[in-house]
Amino acid sequence: MLLVACTVAFTVGAAEVTAASAGDSTCPQEITVFATELELGDAALDPRVVRWGLFRCREVYDVLPGARPGAVVVIHTGAARPLAWHTELRAAGMRREPRPHAGD
């Protein structure tokens, strides 16, 4: 088993957060990650469950608790894709189809 030590820094709001993993002293590449809050509405899902629902989204590195109930913070590379993430969660049975608004 190959273990790699990497440090990843990202910004959430005004605070910079650094995450490090232990292991070998080499890091094969430097990556930039972003933190995006994903609104889940009524569903107060455990972030670990949401992460499992997003396992097919290769850009997603982790899912953390959000600042508000019904929200999580998605740690990802590249541009945020909240519509795609909601679609994946619906496909995994974790989200219901949105109800149409009156007049739609």
Per-residue pLDDT of the chain (104 residues; tens, 9 = 90+): 333 334 445 555 444 455 544 444 555 667 889 999 998 876 667 888 899 999 899 999 999 998 888 899 999 999 999 999 999 999 988 865 554 444 44
Say if 61 falls within a structural domain.
Answer: yes
Say if 65 falls within a structural domain.
Answer: yes
Say if 2 falls within a structural domain.
Answer: no
Range of the domain at 35: 7-91
Say if 100 falls within a structural domain.
Answer: no
Letter string b/e over residues 61-76, b meaning 16 or more CB atoms within 10 A of that residue's CB:
bbbbebeeeeebbbbb
pLDDT at 60: 95
Residues in the chain: 104
Total structural domains within the chain: 1
How far CA 87 is from CA of 30, 34, 45, 49, 104, in Å, comes to 29, 20, 16, 15, 20
Say if 48 falls within a structural domain.
Answer: yes
Say if 101 falls within a structural domain.
Answer: no
d(CA 5, CA 11): 20
Say if 103 falls within a structural domain.
Answer: no
- HSE at residue 76, side-chain half, CA atoms within 13 A, is 22
Q: Read off the amino acid at residue 34.
A: F
